[in-house]
Amino acid sequence: MPLPTPSYITAAKVRVDEIRYLWDDFGDQLEGPLDGDFVARLEAMTERATLAFMCASLEWLVERLGHLCGSDGPADYAEAAWAMTVDLRYRGLSWLEYEHEDEWIGPVRTPLREGIRWLEIGMEERISQANHPATYAVLLSNLVDYVMPDPEPHRQWREQVLARLSESFPLAVEDREGDVVPREMLDPEAAIAAGQAEELINRYLYHLDHRRNPFLRSPELMVKGNDEFEPYEGTPYRFSMAEDRKRRDL
């Protein structure tokens, strides 16, 4: 089973069957300029903090529409995405490898597809160091707002976690990537003690099952590497904050 939905999302009661929004598969309903202040707030935090915000945003989207799509794919991807913020070498299948374009259309599946694609692009741009993922985070957040039966609980959550992430993970020129952000940091009610992040991340990694989730890579393939990824050094599905910081020359 995928990770349980965070309590702050289930409390918002967004899991409803009724589709109350207009949709076409060209995305015209989401056209328009992005909120520059929103983009700037995200660009002022580390890339990993922005990706964590995107992972949690996707969990809102999956809670809203996942039960209507007839596939475990979005929930499985949302589970695996948190591991990809630790290291993209945890990724098994990409979403593009998984999906079949003609199967992911309509007012339920297309929003899920687009949200996952934006997160996947954001992940890849961090690795390539091409761009900060802020623009894709705003696109995803706007999409979540659009499909919600009532967007207000999501908006309130967004303001709370943006303030928390901005304070805890400000961008530094010498370390744009930043520390890994535990999933619990996106719960406004969770109290995270200093130095607890490594324990929380390892607890999450321990419960992942690459044999069940196609978006996760096996430890053997991680260590072996391939044309896309260098071999993983260390023990897969175990995280060391000290080693992660060493890799970033800190």
pLDDT digits (tens, 9 = 90+) for 79-113: 999 999 999 999 999 999 998 766 899 999 999 99
Whether 27 shows a pLDDT value over 80: the answer reads no
Using alpha carbons only, what angle is made at residue 124 by residues 118 and 127, rounded to the nearest 5 degrees? Answer: 145
What is the tens place of the pLDDT at every residue in 157-212? Answer: 999 999 999 999 999 988 999 999 999 999 999 999 878 999 999 999 999 999 99
DSSP letter at 2 equals: P
CA distance 215 to 92: 4
Cβ–Cβ under 8 Å, residues 59 and 6: yes
Using CA atoms, how far apart are residues 82 and 95, in angstroms rounded to an integer? 15
Distance of CA 65 to the CA centre of its chain: 16
What is the residue extent of each domain of the chain?
7-19+35-247
pLDDT (0 to 100) of residue 203: 96
**Global pTM exceeds 0.85:** yes
Is residue 111 within 8 Å of 61, Cβ to Cβ?
Answer: yes
Q: How far apart are CA 63 and CA 181, in angstroms?
A: 21
- Is the pLDDT score of 29 beyond 80? no
Q: Please tell me the distance from the alpha carbon of residue 168 to that of residue 150, in angstroms, as a whole number.
A: 29
